[in-house]
Amino acid sequence: MTDDGTADSAADILMRNVEVRLENNITDDRYYLRSKNVAQPVRNDFSEPQWRITQEFQKKTVYDAARAFTAGSPLLTFSNGATNALTFTLQSGSANVTEYSDPVEGYGIILQNTTWTAWKDATDGTALMATVVNTQATITTAN
C-alpha cells in the first residue's frame, strides 16, 4: 500500500523510488574538562522529516498540491501478503510539497520528483511515525 500524499487511487500511483529522511538537529559539542565521555546530546532545533518520491506521471494532483501548498499524508507500507502478519509502515499525517520538478528529457515516460516536508500532525502527535507489526506484537514509534 502506498500513498504519494495526494490520496489518489493506488492504480494512479506508480512509484519508482521513495526516500524517507529524518534529520534530528542536536548539539554534539558538549565536551567538558575532566570528563571521559561526551554529555548527552540536546535538541537545538526542530526535526526535519522529508519524503522524496519519484513516480511516473499519471495525474496532475501532485502539481496542484504543490501550487496550492495543500497538506497531504504520505504513506508507505510493506507487508507479507494477504495475512498482513508482518507489516512495516512509515507515515506522515501532515506534509506539504516543498520541492517539485517534472523533468521531460525526451520521448517516453515522464517522471515526477516530489519532496514532501512533514509537520507535526494533531491526530497522531508526530511528524513521522513508524509501525512494525509481527506475529508477536505491534510496535509504534513516533519521532
Residue 106: CATH number of its domain: 2.30.110.20
What secondary structure does DSSP assign to 68-80, as a single string? HT--BEEEEEEE-
Separation between Cα atoms, residue 134 and residue 57, nearest integer Å: 34
Q: Which neighbouring-strand residues pair with 138?
A: 133
49 part of a folded domain: yes
38 part of a folded domain: no
Digit-coded pLDDT (tens) for 7-38: 676 666 788 889 999 888 888 777 777 777 76
Which residue type occupies 21?
R
pLDDT of residue 51: 93
34 part of a folded domain: no
pLDDT of residue 84: 66
The number of distinct structural domains making up the chain is 1
101 part of a folded domain: yes
39 part of a folded domain: no
Please give the average per-residue pLDDT across 84-94, as a whole number: 85
pLDDT of residue 117: 92
33 part of a folded domain: no
CB 70 within 8 A of CB 98: no
pLDDT of residue 49: 92
Beta-sheet strands, E only, within the chain:
2-5, 15-23, 26-27, 42-43, 48-56, 73-79, 87-91, 95-101, 111-118, 129-133, 138-142
133 part of a folded domain: yes
Mean pLDDT of all residues in the chain? 81
Residue-range definition of the domain harbouring residue 74: 2-23+44-142
Separation between Cα atoms, residue 13 and residue 126, nearest integer Å: 25
pLDDT of residue 20: 93
Residue 1 pLDDT > 60: no
